[in-house]
Amino acid sequence: MSIAKEHIYLDNAATTKIHPKVFEKMLPYLNEFFGNPSSIHSFGRKTRVALEESREVVADFVNAEPSEIYFCGTGTESINFILHGISFASQAETSKRTLFSSSIEHHAVLESFKSICENGYTTQSVSVNDSYQIDFEELKQFVDSDVLLGSIMNVNNETGSIQPINKIAELLKESEIFFHTDAVQSFGKIEIDVKKIGVTALSASSHKIYGPKGVGCAYVKSGTPLSPLIHGGSQERNRRGGTENIAGIVGFAEAVKIAKSEMKQNEEFVLKLKRNFIDGLNAIAGKNILINSKENTSPYILSVTFDPDFYKNDAESMLMFLDINGIAASNGAACNSGTIKASHVILAGGKSESYANGTLRFSFAPYNTEEEITITLDVLQKMVDKFRK
C-alpha cells in the first residue's frame, strides 16, 4: 500500500485509507450481489450468507459468539446503542440508577451518558493522572449497589493511553455491574478476547482499521438486557432496524481478517516509527517538545505538546503549517478539528489550556514509512524555528 509522496498522512486515528483487498472484496456487493438479506429468494440468500459469514469473522476475532455481534453504522452508534440499550432495558428490572465513565472518554460516551441522564440516571466520572491513566483507587470507591453500568475506554484516541480494562472488568464482575469498553482505537490492533477480559459489551469501528466508513459493531454478552436504539424491522435480531449495509459489512470483515493476520508485524513496525519520531523530536528541541504518550500507550498514537513557555501555542496554525508542507496530523480528536476548544482529555490530565492548545497528535499506520517520518521531522524543525517565541 502506498500514498502519494507529497502527502504524508499521519492522522490514522481519525480515519484510515481503505485497504485494496477490502475494496476488492466489497465491489461485487455494490453491484452484482445487491439483494436484501431479509428477502427469501436467491438474491437475498446470497447477501444473507455474506452477512452471517462476516458476523462469524468478527465474533471469532474477539472470541464471542456470532449471536453476540450486532452490526451498525459507526463506532458512535455502537456506543450509543450499548449504553442506551443496557440502561433502558434494565429500567424495569432494577432500581440501580448510577453510571460511570472516565474524564477522557470519547464524546460518543460522554454525550450518551448525558442523554441517558435525562431519563433518571446520574453519572460519575473517574479522573486520570498526568499520564492519562484512570485512577483505579477512585474507581473502586464508585463501586456500590446503585451502579448499573460503567464505560471505560480501552485506548484513548488523543494520547493513546491504555486503560486497565481486565482489572476493571474483574472488579465490576464481583459487584454485578455491566461493563462496556470503547475499543474503537484498539480493535484490530491488539488482541481482544471478550471472554478472558470479562467485559459485558464492546464497541468497534471499521474505518479505523482500513475498512470502509459507515460500519461499526457492538459485542454484547448474551443474556444482557438490551433494547434497540433504532426502531424498525427485525434486523440484527430485533436490536437494530434497517436494511444492512452489506458491502460495508463484508469490507469490515475483510479488514478484520487482514488485521488478525498482520497484527504482530504491524505493531512492531509502527512502534519503530513512533520511537524514531520521538528520538527525532528530542533531537530537534530537547525538553521543549513534551511527549504526552509515554509508558503504557498505543504504538499507533503519539501526542506531543509544544511547550507554551517556548512556542506560540496555536495548534491550528501549526497544523496549517504542516498541511502546507504536505503533512496531515491532528490537534487531538478528529471531531474537535476545526474548533478552537481545548481538548477535554489534555485538560483532564491536569494540563493548562495553553498546553492543550499546543498539542498535536500524530497517528501511524503500517503503510507509513521511515522516509515519511524523516521528512516530517524536517518540516517540524522548520516549524519550531518559525513558532519559537
Which residue ranges make up the site for ligand PLP (CB under 6 A)? 74-76, 106, 108, 153, 157, 182, 184-185, 205, 216, 334
Q: Provide the minimum distance between the beta carbon of 333 and ligand PLP in the complex, in angstroms, as a whole number.
A: 6
Contact between 271 and 331 (Cβ < 8 Å): no
Q: Which helix (H) or strand (E) holds 27?
A: none
Write the CB contacts of 203 (distance below 8 Å, at least 6 apart in sequence). Answer: 75, 78, 79, 82, 180, 181, 182, 183, 184, 216, 217, 218, 219
Nearer to ligand PLP, 288 or 337 (CB): 337
Among 278, 296, 276, residue whose Cα is nearest residue 287: 278
Nearer to ligand PLP, 161 or 313 (CB): 161
At 64, list the grid cell. Answer: 464471542
List the beta bridge partners of residue 101: 125
Q: Which helix (H) or strand (E) holds 128?
A: none
335 is known as an active-site residue:
yes
Contact between 171 and 389 (Cβ < 8 Å): no
Nearer to ligand PLP, 168 or 184 (CB): 184
Q: Provide the minimum distance between the beta carbon of 163 and ligand PLP in the complex, in angstroms, as a whole number.
A: 11
Q: Which helix (H) or strand (E) holds 24?
A: helix 20-26
Write the CB contacts of 305 (distance below 8 Å, at least 6 apart in sequence). Answer: 289, 290, 292, 346, 351, 355, 356, 358, 359, 360
Nearer to ligand PLP, 153 or 218 (CB): 153
Among 334, 329, 331, 335, residue whose Cα is nearest residue 346: 331
Nearer to ligand PLP, 74 or 266 (CB): 74
At 68, list the grid cell. Answer: 453476540
Nearer to ligand PLP, 29 or 81 (CB): 81
| Three-class secondary structure assignment of 229-263 | CECCCCHHHHCECCCCCHHHHHHHHHHHHHHHHHH
Q: How many CA atoms lie within 13 A of 8 on its CB side?
A: 25
Nearer to ligand PLP, 245 or 313 (CB): 245
Q: Provide the minimum distance between the beta carbon of 74 and ligand PLP in the complex, in angstroms, as a whole number.
A: 3
Q: Provide the minimum distance between the beta carbon of 205 and ligand PLP in the complex, in angstroms, as a whole number.
A: 3
Among 377, 282, 273, residue whose Cα is nearest residue 325: 377
**CA–CA separation, 147 and 142 (whole Å):** 8
Residue nearest ligand PLP (C-beta atom) = 75
**CA–CA separation, 94 and 74 (whole Å):** 29
The catalytically annotated residue of 72, 117, 217, 335 is: 335
**CA–CA separation, 87 and 217 (whole Å):** 18
Q: Which residues are catalytic?
A: 335
